[in-house]
Amino acid sequence: MTNENVSDGTSADLPHGTSADLPQDEMSSAALSAQFPVDDKIPSIPDRMYFRIGDVAEIAGVQPYVLRFWEKEFDFLAPIKNAAGQRLYRKGDVESVLLIKRLLYLERYSIEGAKKRIKELRKQGGLGDAKRERGSLDDHKLEAIKLAKEELRTLIDLVS
């Protein structure tokens, strides 16, 4: 049986609130990795004044439409637009994007939860530190994640 609609397994391909209509334990390791990517490297922000949406998308590891969605959801994320209407992000905007990504993808906050967490960080005065942290994963955490992924793949292969 062939499937004409092949998906890359990203959450954008899934109906809102579902995981391909499969229970969590039946999802393949490839689908889990695609749905919840964990970067092995910490994104670095080049020393420039302005970044276009494609540059920011590449740095953050998300698609440009995700950035446009986040602009609507997070009022503090508001890049300026040039005369041609192209979005121009400042370095602080890129740090905000990386913070949002960390909260949503790594710490598994909902959009509303991420908004509340950012508001809390602002009140506590820790927003700047949180932006600069950029979801850094030290070598120990990366090794633990890799080991867990290998173990999950082994278990899925055994069950399959």
pLDDT (0 to 100) of residue 133: 64
Q: What is the CATH number of domain 43-135?
A: 1.10.1660.10
Strands (E), 21-127: 51-52, 80-81, 87-89
Domain boundaries, the chain: 25-41+137-160, 43-135
Q: At what angle do helices 91-101 and 111-124 cross, to 10 degrees?
A: 120
pTM, full prediction: 0.58
Angle among Cα 144, 146, 151 to the nearest 5 degrees reads: 95
Helix, strand, coil percentages (3-state) for the chain, rounded to 5, are 55, 5, 40
Could you give the CA distance from residue 45 to residue 55 in angstroms, rounded to a whole number? 10
pLDDT per residue as tens, the chain (160 positions): 444 444 444 444 444 443 344 344 444 444 444 444 544 456 778 889 999 999 999 999 999 999 999 999 999 999 999 999 999 999 999 999 999 999 999 999 999 999 999 898 888 877 766 666 654 555 666 677 788 888 999 999 998 8
pLDDT (0 to 100) of residue 123: 84
pLDDT (0 to 100) of residue 104: 95
